[in-house]
Amino acid sequence: MNFTWTIWLALFGLIFGHGLPGAVVGGITGFVIDSLRQGQRRRATPEAGGYISPLFALLGAVAKSDGRVSEAEIAVAERLMQRMGLEHEQRKLAITAFNAGKQPEFDVTPAIDQLRRWVGLRRDHAFPVLDVVIETVIAEGNPPPEKMAILRQLAFALRVSDMELMALMAMKGYAWNATGGSRGYGSRGNGGGYVPPQRNTQGPDPYTVLGIGRDVDDRAVKRAYRKLISEHHPDRLGDLPEAMRKQAESRASEINAAYERIKAERGFK
C-alpha cells in the first residue's frame, strides 16, 4: 500500500497543527485517503488470468459464427496460447472454453459480460482484448457479418466506439468501405447493412489509425494522437501477458507511424 498522503498530512499536521497531536490527526486523515485510493485501484485493475476462459470461449464462438471453424482460426487460438505462455492447466482451461464457444447453443453475452467486468475501468486493457478477437475475426480474410456482429458487441461492452474499432482494424491492414455513406461498422446508411472491410494493400490510412477525418485541423490531429498514445502505451498494461504487451507495443508503433506520416504530409512539428 502507498502511504503518500499519510506521510504528507502527518508532516503537515506536525508543522502547522501544534506538534504531535496535529501529526496524529494528519496521519489518520492521510491513512484514510490512502486506503480509499488503494481500494479504487484494486477495483480498476483486472485480476490476473481472469480473462482466459471468457476470452477463448468468445474466440470459439467467433470462429463458429459463420458455420464452421477453419484451420486458420484454430491456428490463431494455438498461437495465442503459445504467445501467452499458458501453463498446462491454463491451456486446458483455454481449450475447454474454446470448444464450449463452438457449440451451437453458446451465448456470447455472458462471456462478453465477464470480459467487461474483468476489464473494469481499465480502457487500456480493453484494446489488447479486442486485438486478440480481431485476429480471429480476420483469420480468413474479409470477415462475414456474423463475426463482425460479435466483435462490435464486445467493443460496445468495453466502451470502445466504432471509430476506435475502425482504427484497430486499420492497424491490421483493413479499411472501412464507406458504401452507402456509412463510416461505422455495421451502420445501415441508405438501408445497407454491414459491408466487409477491404484489405488495404498500401498500408493503413494514417487518419483512420488516429480515428479522425482528413478535414480536421492540426490541433485536432495532435489531440487525437496524444489521446491514443496514452491509451495504448504498453507501460500502462500492468499484469497483462507478454504477448498482449507486444501487441500493444506494435499498436503504439502504428500510432506513432501514422502521426509521423500526417506531420510530414502537413508540414507541422
Amino acid 31: pLDDT: 67
Place of cell 495532435: 222
Nearest to 247 by CA among 136, 116, 83: 83
Percentage, residues of the chain above pLDDT 70:
65
Amino acid 69: pLDDT: 92
Q: Average pLDDT in the 151-180 region? A: 76
Confidence of residue 242 (pLDDT cuts 50, 70, 90): low
Same domain, 129 and 254: yes
| Average pLDDT in the chain | 75
Please name the residues in contact with 195: beta carbons below 8 A apart, sequence gap of 6 or more: 176, 177, 179, 180, 182
| Cα–Cα dist 57/222, whole Å | 38
Same domain, 39 and 64: no
| Cα–Cα dist 20/103, whole Å | 67
> Read out DSSP for 32-52?
HHHHHHHHHHHHHSPPTTTTH
Q: Is the pLDDT of residue 264 over 50?
A: yes
Which of 16-30, 99-113, 163-177, 216-230 is predicted most confidently? 99-113
Amino acid 152: pLDDT: 92
Same domain, 109 and 182: yes
Same domain, 157 and 231: yes
| Cα–Cα dist 97/101, whole Å | 6
Residue pLDDT, tens place only, 37-84 = 555 444 434 444 568 899 999 999 999 999 989 999 999 899 888 877
Same domain, 145 and 260: yes
Q: Is the pLDDT of residue 154 over 90?
A: yes
Amino acid 236: pLDDT: 60
Same domain, 10 and 113: no
Same domain, 120 and 193: yes
For residue 171, what are the domain limits?
Answer: 52-266
What are the beta bridge partners of residue 199? 174
Same domain, 36 and 141: no
Same domain, 35 and 69: no
Confidence of residue 183 (pLDDT cuts 50, 70, 90): very low
Give me the number of domains the chain comprises.
2
Amino acid 182: pLDDT: 31
More confident residue, 103 or 251: 103
Q: Is the pLDDT of residue 101 over 80?
A: yes
Amino acid 181: pLDDT: 33
More confident residue, 30 or 92: 92
Amino acid 188: pLDDT: 34
Amino acid 61: pLDDT: 96
| Cα–Cα dist 115/57, whole Å | 11
Q: What is the pTM of this model?
A: 0.60
| Cα–Cα dist 168/268, whole Å | 25
Residue pLDDT, tens place only, 11-50 = 766 676 667 776 666 667 766 665 665 554 444 344 445 6
Same domain, 176 and 238: yes
Same domain, 126 and 224: yes
Same domain, 71 and 40: no
